[in-house]
Structure formats: C-alpha cells, structure tokens
Structure 1
Amino acid sequence: MISLKAREAHPAGGKVTARTVLITGGNRGIGYALAEEFVAQGHRVAVTARSGEGPAGCLTVTADVTDGASLDAAYALIEAQLGPVEVVVANAGITRDTLIMRMSDEDFDTVVDTNLGGAFKVVKRATKGMLKARFGRIILISSVVGLYGSAGQVNYSASKSALVGMARSLTRELGSRGITANVVAPGFIETDMTAALPEEQQAEYKRNIPANRFATPSEVAKVVAWLASDDAGYISGAVIPVDGGLGMGH
C-alpha cells in the first residue's frame, strides 16, 4: 500500500513538506536506500526499475531510462497516482570497467547512454511540471570517480563527470523558477558489490579514505533528502561529496 500522508516532522524535528519524488534505479543499493529515506520522511515516492521492486511504501514502475517511450509511460502512471514529480533523483547507472585498450565502442556508448543520456531523459520530462509549479529539486547521483578518476573506468568516469556540467547548466536555465539542480558524489559505499571484494582489497581501499571506512547507503540518502528539502532552496549547481574525504580537492 502506498501512503500519501505526510509526517508532521522528520526525526530531527524539522518540518517536512511532502513532495512527489521520483528515483531512478530504486530497486537496490543506493537507490533503494534513497527510496526508504524519502518514504520515512513522509513523501510520495516512485521508483523506476528494469526489474525487482523498491521498498515498501513506494510505487515501483518498470522503465528503462534509455528508452524515451518507457519513461513517458512511467511518468504518466506516476503523475496519475501521485501527482506531478517535484523531486527527481537520477540514480540509475551501470559500469563496464576495463582498460581503455580493451574497451569497445559499445562498452563506452552503453555506459554513457545510461548514466548521462538516461539522466537527461529523466530530468527533461520532469522539468515541464516543475516550471509550471515554479518549484523543483533535481539531484544527479555522480561518483567520486567522476572528478578523481579511476583506471579502467574511462567510460564511467566521463559519464559521471558530465553530470556536473548538466547540473550547472540546469541551474542557469531554471534557477529563477524555484528549481535547483545539484550533484551528489558518493565514494565507496557498503553494498553487495563492495562486500564481495576480498578483505585485503577492502582494507587497501579503506587505507586511501581518510575516514577509514566505507559509507552506508543511508548516509548518502540523508544528504540527498536534505538537498530535496525546503532548507536547501538556495543551494544549486553544487557538488556534494559523500566519500569520507577520498576525493577532497577534486
């Protein structure tokens, strides 16, 4: 069951304005944690997924962010059930890691089309309603790799770095209409992927992180939820790292 009732306050005690929130790739990892956080704060939450389900309390819509027709259908369903999208979090992404000499054109194009092109398609469809309402929160999930770089991730790094230019261009286009656009750049996060790494490799990664640990998905989610709040209305075009200091200075 989808609860449309807003809570009076979030756990910190501040007021929360219930919004209609769309999160892409909300069936696992960071996207799932994002959906859980927004639901907990009393928002009306929809997630897109190519397979699987989002957490309890949200609307899961099957969609492929690279397919404009499937996104049109997803938006129609979300708006019919939850209302116009006021907060969009472009989180869906993929990797196809390999050194550049081995990276095929398809490896590069597929990652960029999903991570960058998918964000563009999702955001573009949300802006019409945001402009009409003169309110909107656009949050693009990048990565520390987008600015820090990583061997074997030319495609992924390029796609995530480009989100910064997108957010800043959106800020200049839409900022006067009450719409903000920001980037959150997570570092290493506790997910099934990092848990599967050998302990020695995990320890090596942690030695390079000043905080000496990986982040939890909920730590990323709380930053994103705050950027979507009324309190963050004067922040736009920013890159907010959630990486324990790994990429500082970049």
Structure 2
Amino acid sequence: MRSALVVGADGGIGREVVSQLRTEGFGPVATVDQRGEVDHLIDVSDLRDGSAYRRWTDSLEDDGIPDVIAWTVGIYPRTEPARYDARTIGDVVDTNLTSFLVFAAALARVQRRDSRTRRLVVVGSQAGNTGGTDAVYAASKAGLGAAVKSLAREFASLRLIANVVSPGPTDTSMAAVMGDRRAHYESTIPLGRFNDPREVAQVVVWLLANAPAALHGTAVDVDGGLVRR
C-alpha cells in the first residue's frame, strides 16, 4: 500500500487532496498543517519558525518520506500594496516559497540514500503567471513554480517525479476576501466560475497516483480557461 504526505492539509485544496488520496487507496496519509485539525505527522504551528521547521525536516530524514508528497502551502497577505513592509513581505515569501526550498533540500538528501521512486506535486497559482492582484503573493508563487522547474533536472536523476499544479481562482478562504470583486473575476474566466477545490485536488491526485512518469517538471493549469497558455 502506497503512503502519502500532504503539507498544508488544513487549506481547502489540501483537505480535498487528503480525502481523495484516501479514496484512491493510499494509506497512511500523513499530514502537516498549522491548525492541528487533521491527523498529522507533526504539528508545525508556524512554517516560518526556522527551528521548528528544521526539527521537522530532520525527522523526515530520520523516519523516511512517503511515496507521494503534495505541497499545498500558501498564505495571502490581504494587505494593500502601499502598506507593505519588510515583515509582511518576509512572512508571505517565507511561508509560500522558503519553506518549500528547505523541504526540497531535505527531500533531495533522502532520495540520495533511498532509491525508491517518489512523486511530488506542488500547488502554485496562476497569480505567479499573470501577476494576480497582489505583488508579494504573485512573486512568491512565481518563485515556487520556477523552483520546481529548476529542481526537476536534479530530481529526475534521484527518481523523484515533480510537477506543479497552477489553479486559477478557487473557492477557498482566500477567495472569501474578494467580496464585490468576485463577480468581476468570474467574468474574466471562460467557464464563468471559480474552481471547486475538489477539481484542483483531482488533478493533484491524478499526478501523484496515475500520471505517466514522462510528465515531469511541468505546470498543469486548472483555471477554467483563464490563461490558455
């Protein structure tokens, strides 16, 4: 039976990924979240806490990493650009990007010792491609996508298949802050609606469970036809 790890399992997409992995027959499905609401491998109360994060990655190196990993971490600053400061920027970039790079380094170390083939799917955002409506969030997600593409070359030699899923606007807690702007955003999407988190999770789980290994180092858009690249 294949095992799975979902990082960011307390978010709307992360919860759906956990549910669908279990339906797909994965077990156990270990999770890492910030609220402790899901059965978890370890409770990381704040991914920006460097010492806590090092303890977690050290434990992964000691205990081993499951067969498939879904990275669904992301926070949105909800701050007007004129109110940005170094702390706000650092919080978003550290959570959305730096935490993944630290994890990727630990994952590479494990893969060098362990010849098992593993799969990694990282949930980015179309904001990283279009610029979105928040510069800091968009920059962090653009960096995340670029990091996976860059790491894909080394990961291939380590028997680690890695891809990015880039959702467009999705019905999660982030969408709830849009208020009256939601109707405008929906009008720009050919399907005329936001993604259901279950739709994004379906693509993530397919990449983890059933996609051909030749699909590696790429980004899969789930956006109702928004970008069409």
Q: Does the alignment reach a TM-score above 0.5?
A: yes
8 Å Cα contact 1:93/1:115 also seen in 2: yes
Q: Aligned pair 1:133/2:115, yes or no? A: yes
Alignment counterpart, residue 88 of structure 1, candidates 46, 69, 90: 69
**Pairwise CA distance, 1:124:** 2.2
Q: Distance in 1 between matches of 2:24 and 2:62?
A: 22
Structure 1 residues 65-99: Cα deviation after superposition (integer angstroms, max 9, x where no partner): 33344345445767888x53222222111111334
Letter in 2 for 1:51: R
TM-score (norm 2): 0.87
Matched residue, 1:241: 221
Matched residue, 1:11: none
**Pairwise CA distance, 1:241:** 0.8
Letter in 2 for 1:35: V
Structure 1 unaligned blocks of 5 or more: 1-5, 7-17
Q: Aligned pair 1:50/2:34, yes or no? A: yes
Structure 1 residues 99-121: Cα deviation after superposition (integer angstroms, max 9, x where no partner): 43321111111111110001112
Letter in 1 for 2:128: G
8 Å Cα contact 1:85/1:129 also seen in 2: no
**Pairwise CA distance, 1:223:** 0.6
Matches within 5 A, 1:101-180: 101-131=82-112, 132-151=114-133, 153-180=134-161
SS at match of 1:84: coil
Q: Distance in 2 between matches of 1:70 and 1:101?
A: 32
8 Å Cα contact 1:65/1:122 also seen in 2: no
SS at match of 2:69: strand
SS at match of 1:133: coil
Structure 2 unaligned blocks of 5 or more: none
SS at match of 2:16: helix
TM-score (norm 1): 0.80
8 Å Cα contact 1:171/1:237 also seen in 2: yes
8 Å Cα contact 2:61/2:110 also seen in 1: no
**Pairwise CA distance, 1:135:** 1.2
Q: Aligned pair 1:70/2:59, yes or no? A: no
Alignment counterpart, residue 34 of structure 1, candidates 7, 10, 17: 17
What is the number of residues matched between the two proteins? Answer: 226
